[in-house]
Amino acid sequence: MKMIRLFSGDDGQSHFEDVEVELEPVHVAHFSKAFHTDNIKFGAIGNIGELSWHPQAEPAYIVILRGAMELEVGDGTKRIINTGDILLAEDTTGQGHITRSINGKGWEFLIAPAK
């Protein structure tokens, strides 16, 4: 299983990294190790067009439940975060990232602080 990591680099820019989430068999399913969080919230964002450069307020796991969003980092790299994708947003310092709506639509998500 893959997770997209968005993090602050030593250069003051945000960067993407693909992270493999290891799964171990447990009975009929496969589970990852436990990820620590205090709470989860559900949210929705409508068509925001573009939200200019901003860092993440706090490290968080974000799972897109419906729709998609586009993120851009300082070197111009863009990633579309789609329904079902897991994003670990840790770029809490530096320039941050740009967030965009896709095709004039918003998205629904689950967000949980990363500890």
* Residue 76 pLDDT greater than 90, yes or no: yes
Q: What is the tens place of the pLDDT at every residue in 79-112? A: 999 999 999 999 999 999 999 999 999 999 999 9
Tell which residue, 88, 95, 97, 93, has the closest CA to residue 115.
88
Residue 115 has a pLDDT of 86
This prediction has a pTM of: 0.93
Instruction: Quickly count: other Cβ atoms within 10 Å of residue 48's Cβ.
Output: 12
- Provide the residue ranges of all domains of the chain, joining segments of one domain with +: 2-113
Residue 79 has a pLDDT of 98
* Residue 7 pLDDT greater than 90, yes or no: yes
- Residue 73's Cβ-count burial label (10 Å; 0-12, 13-18, 19+) is buried
- pLDDT above 70 covers a percentage of the chain that reads 100
Tell which residue, 64, 55, 58, 61, has the closest CA to residue 101.
64
Q: What is the tens place of the pLDDT at every residue in 15-56? A: 999 999 999 999 999 999 999 998 999 999 999 999 999 999
Q: Which CATH code for domain 2-113?
A: 2.60.120.10
The one-letter code for the residue type at 28 is V
**Which tokens go with 16?**
């993407």
